[in-house]
Amino acid sequence: MTDINFAELKKGGFMKQKQKDYFSMRLKTIGGQVTAEQLETIQLVSQKYGKGYIHLTSRQGIEIPFIGTENIDAVKRELAAGGVQNGVCGARLRTITACQGSVICPSGLIDTQQLAEDCDHRYGGREFPCKFKIGITGCPNNCLKAEENDLGIKGGIIPQWNAEKCIFCGVCVPVCPTKAITVDKDTHTLAFIEEKCCYCGACFKSCPASAWGGQSGYVVSLGGLYGKQIAIGKHILPIISNAETLHKVITVTLDFFASHAKQGERFAKTLDRVGWNTLKAAIEEIL
């Protein structure tokens, strides 16, 4: 490997180290999932070409440090043979992170892993004026901290109350973390303030009379940023009830960023400059 294009190497997950002629190689993961076969391949490559260890990144990624310049092509070939792909870096859609979701976690309200796979298939590696991050968490416990991402997705339950089934026991009142429910046992009345609801489904799960029902949905946050500057992603949209609509929202958001961002400008800064209502209006056209 005589002519080294450092920009292309970085694009393909090879990041220069402080040590001359060495790279830390970022590998592709989706939602933090790695198979046993892939782990074995990564182990062998790290022992053969690195220093026998790997680094777990803050975004569920794996890096193999101390890959020498002369070994880059061989490393790529041997990893690919074991089903391991290069990761991405630079100004593009980064690794899509996700918790284990409803398939594994008792608290999970959406299938985060399938959604991460779908997002990677649709948008993975797309280039932008600056990096863009998507994070998916299965419920309002928010283990993955969705609001730290440029676009965060959080599983939720859209609560539905059935007055005919309700026995007005009041069990749902203390379990509601946002105090969105009040019950008057004497007058047999219940008040629900949806604007306060965090869509956690605690009312649905605790009701002894099955008076609370619910439909899984997606709570989207936009404009999160963590680094030298910090911004918490904002919730400017209603909870989304189906995956088809969610992907329309994601597509419009990514297109908006591609069209409006300046070179090197993170999404939060683009929204502050162009206007949050501009993006909201573009999304509302497809809702």
Tens digit of pLDDT at every position of the chain (287 positions): 456 777 788 888 899 999 999 999 999 999 999 999 999 999 999 999 999 999 999 999 999 999 999 999 999 999 999 999 999 899 999 999 999 999 999 999 999 999 999 999 999 989 999 999 999 999 999 999 999 999 999 999 999 999 999 999 999 999 999 999 999 999 999 999 999 999 999 999 999 999 999 999 999 999 999 999 999 999 999 999 999 999 999 999 999 999 999 999 999 999 999 999 999 999 999 98
pLDDT at 3: 66
Alpha helical stretches, state H, 130-242: 172-175, 202-206
DSSP H or E segment with residue 42: helix 36-49
* Exposure of 257 in the CB half-sphere (CA atoms within 13 A): 26
The whole-model pTM stands at 0.93
Domains and CATH numbers, the chain: 6-81 (3.30.70.3340), 97-284 (3.30.413.10)
Q: What is the 3-state secondary structure (H, E, C) of 178-207?
A: CCCEEEECCCCEEEECHHHCCCCCHHHHHC
Q: How far is residue 135's CA from residue 120's CA, in Å, rounded to a whole number? A: 11
